[in-house]
Structure 1
Amino acid sequence: MSRTGKKSSSDGETTPQAPLVNESIKGSKSRFPKAGSRKESIDPKTTDSQPQDKTPKTIFLDTAALLPSLPDLEKLDISWNDVIGGNLHVLTQQMHRVSKLKILRLSSCRLTADDVRALGEALKVLPELEELNLSWNSKVGGNLPLILQTLQEGSKIQTLELVDCTLTSEDGVFVGQLLPRLQKLEVLDLSINRNISGSLNSIAHGLKSTPNLKVLKLHSCGLSQKSVKLLDAAFRYLCELRTLDLSCNKELGGGFEDTAGLATLEHLEGLDLRQCSLTADDVLSLTQVIPLLSSLQELDLSANKEMGSYSENLLSRLRFLPVLKSLIISNCALKCETFTALAEASIHLPALKVINLSWNKCIGGNLKLLLETLKLSMSLQVLRLSSCSLVTEDMTLLVSVIQTGHLVRLQKLDLSYNDGICEAGWTIFCQNLWLLKELTELDISLRPSTFRKCGQWFRHLLSAVTKLPKITEVGMKRWLLPVSQEEELQGFDQDHRSSIHFDHGGFQ
């Protein structure tokens, strides 16, 4: 039996993944780990040497049967198992056998109200628990106290994830009251629970008693202008905060006009304010605050369209973020003057690994403003310029940078939805594509309303791809392939079937 658990996500995403369980744990006791082994874990999704003829429910029952043989078990991840719903008691009845458990993940298990009650009882016998993930279980909402009321002062919980659990306002009040007991809490994710906005006063008050908190995620929680004020008052107490995600709260606009507390987060490394309806006054306030966050490594201001007219000063001050690695300002309706300010500031950001400026039309014909940045950012790994109205002149400029070796570490390049590039532009690009030896993903798809025939550049593309040792994905949706090019691609697929996927628009 494999003892390797699923690698936990580090990218901050709160989007659910597809279920992965399709194997079962073999029931032979001869394959069980010895009782004295340390740091054992169960993850049915990655367990090897298992027959393929057992049902998911049998897998779950086998997992429960394992527990008495694993007294030193520290990690149990049985997420994305629909069959657990209504059957969790089979597992919780054995929890006292694994009292050293530190990590318990039950996300997307369709837990019922009875499961929730059973889990609450089980947590009483898990004094070493450090991580609990119940995300994407709607029945947790309205029943959260039944699960967590046993957590007492001195609890060792460090990570609590309750994403999309249909939490109620009452649950939010309970969380606020619970937080002072969780002195070791480092990660709190309450994302996609829109009803907790009404109890944010309680949550913010509780946050003042979590001095070790490093990650706070409130993505898509229906937060308002008032919410920002409440949180800002709590920020002064969160000296260790590293990641703050307030994204996709469209009612936040206007709430950042006075955010002195945000400026005190001197260790903040990631700030996500995408799709928050930032106003001109918000931008003015952030212009004063963001340059003070000198530890900032990731900044996402995407989908705040009013920024396009008011962010010139803000973007120019990004130069004061010396360790910034990821800058995402897609779909912000940038104007020529704001893009110019951004381009001039980006010259002072040598650590940049990710630049995403997609859906800003002003970049078309003006990519030359980024020329110095593209030359100086030797560490750049991701460049996204989708739907930027790029023209052939921009492609020629990009190729010149590629030819001089300034993008040697580029791994992902998105040039999709730039239908204004003529065949000559695609040709010179594909002829030089082979120079990007680290490239793993390329997207040159056309916008959904456009279909065009591939030109002779397609042969150059195929030739280049054969010289790129790491590439796995080529997106070229809505490019139509005539019969001759279809045959070339089919031949290519036969030779590289296991390593490269062409996502094309179909055959003519």
Structure 2
Amino acid sequence: MTKGVAGIGKTVSVQKFILDWADGVANQNVDFMFPLSFRELNLIRTDRYSLHTLLLEFHPELRKLNDGEEYKDCQIVFIFDGLDESRLTLDFQQNMTLSDVKQIASVDTLMTSLIKGTLLPSAHIWITSRPAAASQIPAQYTHQLTEVRGFNAPQKEEYFRKRIRDESLSNTIISHIKASRSLHIMCHIPVFCWIAATVLQQMLKKRNIENIPKTLTEMFIHFLLIQTAKKDQKYQGGKNTSQEELLESQKEIVLKLAELAFKNLASGNLIFYEEDLTQCTLDISEASVHSGLCTEIFKEETLFQQKKVYCFVHLSIQEFLAALYAFHSFVTGNSAALKSLLNKEHTDDSTPPSCFSCIQPALRSKSQDHLHVLLKSAVDEALKSRNGHLDLFVRFLMGISLKRNQKLLKGLLTQTHSSSRSIKETSQYIKMLNTENLSPDRCINLFYCMFEMDDQSMHKEIQKYMTSPKKFKQQLSAAHCSALAHMLLMSEEVLDEFDLKKYNTSHEGRRRLLPAVRWFRTARLADCNFTDKSCEIVGSVLQSPNSLTELELSHNHLRDSGVQLLTKGLYSPHCKLQTLRLADCDLTDKSCEMVSSVLQSPNSLLQLDLSHNHLGDSGVQILCKGLSSPHCKLQALRLDRCKISYRSCEISACIFQSPNPLTELDLSNNELEDSGVQLLSKKLSSTHCKLKIVRLADSKFTAKSCEIVACALQSSNSLTELDLSHNDLGDSGVQLLSKGLSSSHCKLLKLRLSGCLISGKGCTFLAAALTSNPSHLKELDLSYNHPGESGLKLLSARLADTHCKLETLNTDHCTEVRLIPGVRKYACDLTLDPNTASRLLFLSEGNRKVTRVSEKQPYPDHPDRFDHWDQVLCREGLSGRCYWEAEWSGAGAYIAVAFKSIQRKMRKQAVVMGWSDKSWSLDCSTDRYSVWHKNETIAISVPSSRRVGVYLDWPAGTLSFYSVSSDTTLNHLHTFNSTFTEPLYPGFRLVDYSDSSVSLCQIT
């Protein structure tokens, strides 16, 4: 199946394919090639044939094949062009299934059997169609789908330069087209380029610059004027001098053609037969005469058996004339003609929207100025269409409603009807429309409707917004976002970075901004509350010409279904993505299947982040198939916190043996343990290994593994950066590791050992290694350890040594508590802030305990105080790695963290900790836990404990809650993943019962 909009070049591509075969250039293994257009098949749709006798109708030469049995031994290609023009009933469920080329049946039955593959199963079938009609063929019978997308930007310019030899004139036309986004977009269709060139070339030659078309409607009105002038010049010797006289002389035939266009638009008919013309009082001889007079609007074709069909040169011409007929009937009050079209077929709720339906409310309206009713109804009907087949019709209708455009059509429109009030009301209606179920591109089409009505208000408002120094603080409506997307798409230069979270708008507003990302190199769409539906929009962007090389979609609920929609774009030849981030998107190993498939096809991906997803070992195994592909160019893979174990280290040999091996691998925060790290370290010694950066932070391994890691460093390897942070290695582990650091084979530039239980003794081994091999290591991270004065002195001496390359030594947050194993090494001291406490909360024990009381406390007014909800925050804002514990009593409590910017006043949901995007909480009660963020909750079915631990890794964007058992064992409850933009303040909310309390615990 090949899809493409009308006039995009599908038939030409078919003709080129056939010509190459006939000339012996290509596909010489094919014996027969049978091109059959649907417009021809329509002519015999009521007749009955066998497959052989059907082919004889078109190719009498096949009589030599007798009964057609020879087809079974031949390579045959059937080409069915123009499915959108079909009037056959292609019922794949009810039609009889044929298997014999001699069986006689209706034409549509022959077609369905061929497509299903039961009739001549060895034959190849190629069908072309407009997108709206492609669904007539069930998906299971389509094995390959292609799309003709038309001219890209350079090809548009090439067309105008080749058609218009005058360089100065062609440059002027190209500049004018580029200045109007709606015209520039339409120029991807070759036929529209021809229309634009015809109009602009003639008007500029006559120096008619003042009236040069800037909108689609103006372009088509001038095209109609030019064609009628050509006809007048040819057949009447140019006796009609004015535009009005020209149109008046052709009024009858143009309006009959307009009626034909209007009647057939709803059903999408592009091809007309004798019966269609008769319905519009166009007899055959009249149509033939007119097609000869005005071949650039309406044309006649002779098919087999000398049968004739008629069509407009392009669908857009039909849509323009349909809008013209609707408006003409409206202003002339031709209600009888219109009402005759409003039969049950067009008004039944079960049928698709019709352009006729928009007229009915206007005819019923008794308002003095009911033009707005017509325009509003037209918009409503167009929005009901899933494929947007009435969008252009509505744009033309809006444009024709302008007084100045009606003046251009004077001669056809003997009466005019326009009202600035109606235009204003319609514009306001479009701005306020709820279009949540409409694609963002179709929302932009509504913005184009406003352009057609000469309403520039949104454009001016967005221009003002773009130049405002406080633009990101201003609230943007959904309509403004469509206007902003349009303006960004009009940029002549590719832009660097699009960060969606910067824009202060609703979810619908963010959705409408998405089409703009195609004009940026980097799109940051993280944490925008997107779901799988948003992936369909992003996928369509990747399938069209775009400039994206980096896409960030992390922290959204995309799920596997979202990745499935996204991969449609990743397969596209237009997709040039090099970096894709899908961290924390609720993905499973099913997503790995789709990503692996992309890696096995031609692609540009260099960096892939799947961190914080439930991929498991099965997911890694699936990914390895993609990593082993010669198409895979991936250099960096992040699988941080992906629920994988040591088994993934066993199956990851593909990482080292693929044609294009990885250079960066992140397996942090997984249960690799000693066995997994030892397996991985052995592979680091392989000559196939090209890894330069390895991150194994918090991988649950101990000093035992350091010996094998050291062996890898002592062998020939490519490692320049190694992160072993948050593993309880201790001084003994560092001692083993230092043997590798001392080796001349060790080329490490960066080593991270943050939070590894290292004391002054461990620093002695590191200092000795730096003395033995001083030529490489430039950065050493020992934060969250306890080197003591002696350790700091030894390492500072290495830092000052001119022979040692060490440039950066990080010893932040180093105290004795850092030698406690596990997350408790990150313990921090907290105190409650009285200025934030609700007046029904009582603070005690040096502001380390809060109790819910029944009497209001005499706290002074303060802007930071929670005045309705019983909540309190701590004084300390946290932005590093921190751990604390709290013990609660009573009916229940919420253990939480929040940004300082959380709201404090009134009984708003945004004030409650866990109910906004500025806070996260754990709801504790006697029989359950649940976690809250953005007013979304997840229940946790484990036995409840009165003591809770909280671990914040602010730089990594993780917040973890634990229940603390009586023997101080930590049991993980839940981890939030986010991108924190402010320090987080621990806080508590007490339920509405007196004597409920929470105390901060001392950790020793």
Report the TM-score when normalising by structure 1. Answer: 0.60
- Of 666, 687, 699, which residue of structure 2 is paired with 1:276? 699
- Of 386, 391, 398, which residue of structure 1 is paired with 2:813? 386
Post-superposition offset of 1:196: 4.7
Q: Deviations over 1:23-67 (max 9, x none)?
A: xxx9449969xxxxxxxxxxx9x9765657730446634431314
- Aligned partners of 2:740 and 2:746 also within 8 Å: no
Post-superposition offset of 1:302: 1.2
State the distance in 2 between where 1:332 and 1:99 align.
44
Q: Which letter does structure 1 place at the counterpart of 2:656? A: F
State the distance in 1 between where 2:776 and 2:639 align.
28
- Of 65, 70, 75, which residue of structure 1 is paired with 2:486? 65
Post-superposition offset of 1:363: 4.1
State the distance in 2 between where 1:327 and 1:55 align.
45
Post-superposition offset of 1:375: 2.2
State the distance in 2 between where 1:268 and 1:127 align.
32
Post-superposition offset of 1:212: 2.7
Given the superposition, is the C-alpha separation of residues 91 and 251 from structure 1 closer, same or farther in structure 2, using an over 3 Å criterion? same
State yes or no: 1:79 paired with 2:503: no
- Aligned partners of 1:86 and 1:114 also within 8 Å: no
Post-superposition offset of 1:217: 1.1
Equivalent position SS for 2:676? coil
- Aligned partners of 1:361 and 1:387 also within 8 Å: yes
Deviates more, 1:338-347 or 1:238-247: 238-247
- Aligned partners of 1:86 and 1:115 also within 8 Å: no
Equivalent position SS for 1:255? helix
Name the structure 1 match of 2:540: 121
Given the superposition, is the C-alpha separation of residues 353 and 286 from structure 1 closer, same or farther in structure 2, using an over 3 Å criterion? closer
State the distance in 2 between where 1:52 and 1:278 align.
45
Name the structure 2 match of 1:343: 767
Q: What aligned pairs does 1:27-66 form with structure 2 within 5 A after superposition?
A: 27-28=459-460, 49=469, 54-57=474-477, 60-66=481-487
State the distance in 2 between where 1:368 and 1:144 align.
52
What is the alpha-carbon root mean square deviation over aligned residues? 3.9
Q: What aligned pairs does 1:197-276 form with structure 2 within 5 A after superposition?
A: 197-209=617-629, 211-237=632-658, 239=660, 241-259=662-680, 260-263=682-685, 264=687, 267-276=690-699
State yes or no: 1:370 paired with 2:795: yes
Post-superposition offset of 1:291: 3.5
State the distance in 1 between where 2:731 and 2:692 align.
24
Q: Deviations over 1:231-264 (max 9, x none)?
A: 2332222755332211111344421223343334
Deviates more, 1:228-237 or 1:293-302: 293-302
Equivalent position SS for 1:299? strand
State the distance in 2 between where 1:88 and 1:358 align.
40
- Aligned partners of 2:578 and 2:604 also within 8 Å: yes
Judging by fraction of residues, say which structure has more helix: 2
Q: Which letter does structure 2 place at the counterpart of 1:107? A: A
Q: Deviations over 1:398-419 (max 9, x none)?
A: xxxxxxxxxxxxxxxxxx99xx
Judging by fraction of residues, say which structure has more strand: 2
- Aligned partners of 2:709 and 2:740 also within 8 Å: no
Q: Deviations over 1:67-109 (max 9, x none)?
A: 44236535451332574634555345x56xx866544332222
Name the structure 1 match of 2:600: 180
Given the superposition, is the C-alpha separation of residues 182 and 336 from structure 1 closer, same or farther in structure 2, using an over 3 Å criterion? farther
Q: Which letter does structure 2 place at the counterpart of 1:380? A: E
- Of 579, 591, 597, which residue of structure 2 is paired with 1:171? 591
Post-superposition offset of 1:129: 3.7
- Aligned partners of 1:262 and 1:289 also within 8 Å: yes
Given the superposition, is the C-alpha separation of residues 124 and 387 from structure 1 closer, same or farther in structure 2, using an over 3 Å criterion? same
Q: Which letter does structure 1 place at the counterpart of 2:783? A: S
Q: Which letter does structure 2 place at the counterpart of 1:241? A: L
Post-superposition offset of 1:189: 0.8
- Aligned partners of 1:219 and 1:247 also within 8 Å: yes
Equivalent position SS for 2:691? coil
Given the superposition, is the C-alpha separation of residues 142 and 363 from structure 1 closer, same or farther in structure 2, using an over 3 Å criterion? farther
- Aligned partners of 2:712 and 2:740 also within 8 Å: no
Given the superposition, is the C-alpha separation of residues 182 and 100 from structure 1 closer, same or farther in structure 2, using an over 3 Å criterion? farther
- Count of matched residue pairs: 357
- Aligned partners of 2:784 and 2:811 also within 8 Å: no
State the distance in 2 between where 1:278 and 1:78 align.
38
- Of 337, 346, 354, which residue of structure 1 is paired with 2:779? 354
State yes or no: 1:315 paired with 2:738: yes
State the distance in 1 between where 2:493 and 2:616 align.
37
Given the superposition, is the C-alpha separation of residues 247 and 271 from structure 1 closer, same or farther in structure 2, using an over 3 Å criterion? same
- Aligned partners of 1:64 and 1:90 also within 8 Å: yes
Q: What aligned pairs does 1:128-147 form with structure 2 within 5 A after superposition?
A: 129-147=548-566
Q: Deviations over 1:447-488 (max 9, x none)?
A: 999xxxxxxxxxxxxxxxxxxxxxxxxxxxxxxxxxxxxxxx
Q: Deviations over 1:174-215 (max 9, x none)?
A: 222221125422111111113454321101221122553222
Equivalent position SS for 1:160? strand
Given the superposition, is the C-alpha separation of residues 291 and 156 from structure 1 closer, same or farther in structure 2, using an over 3 Å criterion? farther
- Aligned partners of 2:760 and 2:789 also within 8 Å: no
State the distance in 1 between where 2:584 and 2:495 align.
26
Name the structure 2 match of 1:302: 725
Given the superposition, is the C-alpha separation of residues 306 and 167 from structure 1 closer, same or farther in structure 2, using an over 3 Å criterion? same
Name the structure 2 match of 1:328: 752
Deviates more, 1:184-193 or 1:274-283: 274-283
Q: Which letter does structure 1 place at the counterpart of 2:712? A: V
Post-superposition offset of 1:269: 3.3
Q: Deviations over 1:358-395 (max 9, x none)?
A: 343354544443354122246624431532449xxxxx
State the distance in 2 between where 1:183 and 1:115 align.
22
State the distance in 2 between where 1:310 and 1:274 align.
15
Q: Which letter does structure 1 place at the counterpart of 2:512? A: V
State the distance in 1 between where 2:664 and 2:607 align.
9
Given the superposition, is the C-alpha separation of residues 67 and 365 from structure 1 closer, same or farther in structure 2, using an over 3 Å criterion? closer
State the distance in 2 between where 1:157 and 1:182 align.
12
Equivalent position SS for 1:181? coil
- Aligned partners of 1:141 and 1:167 also within 8 Å: yes
Deviates more, 1:201-210 or 1:235-244: 235-244
Given the superposition, is the C-alpha separation of residues 326 and 317 from structure 1 closer, same or farther in structure 2, using an over 3 Å criterion? same
Name the structure 2 match of 1:112: 531
State the distance in 1 between where 2:499 and 2:634 align.
26
Given the superposition, is the C-alpha separation of residues 334 and 216 from structure 1 closer, same or farther in structure 2, using an over 3 Å criterion? same
Name the structure 2 match of 1:35: none
Given the superposition, is the C-alpha separation of residues 327 and 48 from structure 1 closer, same or farther in structure 2, using an over 3 Å criterion? farther
Equivalent position SS for 1:188? strand
Equivalent position SS for 1:132? strand
Q: Deviations over 1:259-281 (max 9, x none)?
A: 34333466533221111112455
Equivalent position SS for 1:167? coil
- Aligned partners of 1:239 and 1:265 also within 8 Å: no
Name the structure 2 match of 1:11: none
Name the structure, 1 or 2, with higher relative contact order (CA <8 Å, separation 6+). 1
State the distance in 1 between where 2:716 and 2:639 align.
20
Equivalent position SS for 2:523? strand
